[in-house]
Every structure is written in structure tokens, then in C-alpha cells.
Structure 1
């Protein structure tokens, strides 16, 4: 039985760039340690926008250019990227249907015992991916390790954790 760790959007723009927070900076060494000590397969997602981001629906609602393909802000944090063994899964929106499809196919080949998510932002991309994975693989336990995540604000982080718990996603506190 295979165990999966999903490292969500640990990119420079979300850590200390355009949308960075002190909470995001604080989890980087924890996430690095989690990846190093995880006994299973590790996948990374990468928020990816194009130069016309501000013309998109997301850009109109969040008019802060970030994670523009090829920029330094788009890159996964260097110390985490060094631990990556597969290409990141680029996603244009909060949740990745490609990630869900890849894990469904993997589960059909070899049963997945659990999926754990860590990363940024708890209240946007972590929750979106957790809910997509729960819908795609409803019998696979989905975990979110709260100490290895950060939200836009501490309050929105906590609200997202409570919402995920209500949807039978196991929040590790």
C-alpha cells in the first residue's frame, strides 16, 4: 500500500514574494523536514499563471500578479525543489484536476493507503485540492497536516481546517 505526500504551491511568490506571509516563511523548514522524512511518494503542485493573468477571472478577483510562468516567484522554493523527484504538476487554478486524475490512476495500479497535504495556502489551494481528492478517492484517507500549512491569514487558515474536518478530511493538529 502506497502513501502519498502532496506539497501544495510552496513557491516563492506565496512564501516571501507577491503574496507571502510570515506564516508561510515559518513553515518552509518544517515542510523540508516533512519531505525528507516521508515514507512514500511525494508530489508537488505549482500554481502557474501567464502574463495575461490580470485578464482572467482569478486576476480580476485577486489583482496581484503572482506565479507567472518562468519568473522567480513561480519557482518552488530552492531547498524544497532540491528534494523533488518528479516534475511538479502545474495548475492554472486553485485545485488540480490533473493531480486528482494522476492519483486515481495510481490508485488503480497500486492501492493508495493515505494522502497527506501540506503547503500553501490552506484556505485556497490546500482546501481545494483536499476536497478534489476526497471527491475523486472517497475511500482513501485524506490528511492535512496543519502545522505544515499556512493560510492567507491565521483566521482563514483555521476556518479552512474546520471546513475540511466537516468534509471528513483528517486534520492533524
Structure 2
């Protein structure tokens, strides 16, 4: 049995683009180091990519978060420069959680599944709870030093909510 690392939405628009934050910029090196640790141990690493089209503002998400971001094919949609050459399966998603990444996690026999990335309070929590629903007996972990939220407060709130849902916070 091995572990799975899910790298959530480490894309330029969430780091230093239209929805970027200092906190997101600050975790890039931690994320890269964590990925390298998993790969050095021969363990699986997958990535989710928030993926929107130009009509994003007409979607429910666009009406509630009216900031165009992660439009497929744009620079903001790309993974951070420090991560984009790292091998690993990519799962595009047009909503907060990736059903395909959850199904991928459920198709393996992982001893644990760890999530890192952006944003703690939207996509990380959504993916953690989705994976927990697929695999209620598999430990799901989130490394808080490799995550950032929309705000530091919402990051902390998301960590507390995940802990209450039996996600282990590192």
C-alpha cells in the first residue's frame, strides 16, 4: 500500500494572478518540497486544475465570485512555474471538487490520502470531503503549511471544519 498526494489548484491565478494572495505565494516552496518527498518515495501525486471558459461570469459560480480566473489556455490557468514540469496526472474541474480525482483516489488501495494547495476554504475542503465520502475508512490528511485560503481567517475556519469531519490536519 502507498499514499496519494492530491495537489489542489496550484495555479497562477490563485497564487499571483486575479485571485492571488501573499499567503498563496508563501506556500509554493512548501508544496514543491512535499511533492518531491512523495515522488522520491515512489508514491502517487495527482493535480487538480480549476478550469473555466470565457462564459464563466454567466455560471452560478461566476455570479457568486465575479472574478474571471483559470480560463483554460491562459497563463493564469497554468500551474505555478515551480510545479508545471512535475509529472503527475492532471484532473481538470469546473467546480470546487473534482469527482474524477475522487474516483481516481477510490480506485487505488491507498493507506492514506493527503491534500495540499489552494484555496483551503473552497477547493481543498471540497475535495477533502468528497474523498472522505468515497473512502470513509481511509485516513484523509491536509497539511496546513502547504495550503492557503482566501483570507487567513477563512483558512483557519476551513481547517477547523475539516477536523470536525475527521480529516487529520497536519
TM-score range, shorter chain: over 0.9
The runs of 4+ residues in structure 1 deviating greater than 6 Å are none
Name which of 146, 151, 162 aligns with 2:149: 151
Structure 1 position 57 matched with structure 2 position 60: yes
Q: What is residue 129 of structure 1 aligned with on the other side? A: 127
User: Pairwise CA RMSD of aligned residues?
Assistant: 0.7
Length, aligned pairs only: 167
Name which of 84, 98, 104 aligns with 2:100: 98
Name which of 17, 33, 46 aligns with 1:43: 46
**Unpaired segments ≥5 residues, structure 1:** none
What's the TM-score, normalizing by structure 2?
0.96
Q: Confirm or deny: 8 A CA contact 1:44 1:84 kept in the other structure.
A: no
Q: What is residue 7 of structure 1 aligned with on the other side? A: 7
What's the TM-score, normalizing by structure 1?
0.95
Tell me the alpha carbon deviations over residues 51-84 of structure 1, each in whole angstroms, 9 at most, x when there is no partner.
1000000000000000001000000112111112
Distance (whole Å) between structure 2 residues aligned to residue 82 and residue 34 of structure 1 = 15
**Unpaired segments ≥5 residues, structure 2:** none
Tell me the alpha carbon deviations over residues 2-40 of structure 1, each in whole angstroms, 9 at most, x when there is no partner.
200000000000000000000000000110111111131
Q: How far 1:171 moved relative to its partner?
A: 0.3
1:164 aligns to what SS in structure 2? helix
